[in-house]
Amino acid sequence: MDIGLSNTTAQFKYGVASGLAGKSEMYAELMYNDKNSIIGGVGLLVANDEMNVPGLTIGVGGKAVVAIIKETPARNKASAIALGAQVRYELPSERRLAFAGELYLAPKIITYGDADRYQQYGARAEFSISPQVQVYGGYRKTWFVLKNTSTEAVLINGPHLGVQLSF
């Protein structure tokens, strides 16, 4: 379970490890902001350790997202099937400290409703308090580009803090 908060946004994510090494994950997430916009999604991230670089994990995957965007003058509904990648580097000398980044994109052909595109990116630093608890801080941005106006409907943009619990 992952809970990430900022002054204007909240993100909740629940994932289940899959794959032989337990690095891959199926997950569901829900995010909302102070403008009452909501975005939910389900996804799969397939990750693997890079053997030539100790501590490096690279993953690729996809997710389906659905959003109600209230930030713009009119209420908009959008959905997308985004493809993405994640990179995570755990310092070999200090296994408790890691850095991670992710990027998800959905071009016009796989974005639906009132939007033309979906994009999400983020980066964070993580610290393991125990094998089951990690705290993190980072930056993330999630947005749709709306049809006809090319306006960016930003749902999340800025720094955040969070905790990740493993059961």
State residue 52's pLDDT score: 86
State residue 23's pLDDT score: 75
- What is d(CA 15, CA 73) in angstroms, rounded to the nearest whole number? 34
Q: How far is CA 106 from CA 40, 54, 156, 167, in A?
A: 15, 31, 17, 32
Q: Which is nearest to 121 in space by CA: 136, 98, 101?
A: 101
State residue 20's pLDDT score: 62
DSSP line for 117-139: EEEEEEEEEEEEEETTEEEEEEE
Amino acid at 38: I
Question: How many folded domains does the chain comprise?
Answer: 1
Please check whether residue 126 is in contact with residue 134, taking contact to mean a CB–CB distance below 8 angstroms.
yes
Q: Which is nearest to 22 in space by CA: 131, 140, 137?
A: 131
Residues 6+ apart with CB under 8 A from 103: 84, 85, 86, 120, 121
State residue 94's pLDDT score: 80
Place of tokens 């980072």: 138
State residue 160's pLDDT score: 97
List 18's β-bridge partners, or say none: 24
CATH of residue 141's domain is 2.40.160
Residues 6+ apart with CB under 8 A from 156: 6, 9, 11, 31, 33, 140, 141, 142, 143
Q: Cα 156 vs. chain centroid, distance in angstroms? A: 11
Low-confidence ranges of the chain (pLDDT < 50): none
- Domain with 120, as residue range(s), is 2-165
pTM: 0.91
Place of tokens 């850095």: 99
State residue 111's pLDDT score: 97
Report pLDDT digits (tens) over 111-148. Answer: 999 999 999 999 999 999 998 999 999 999 999 999 98
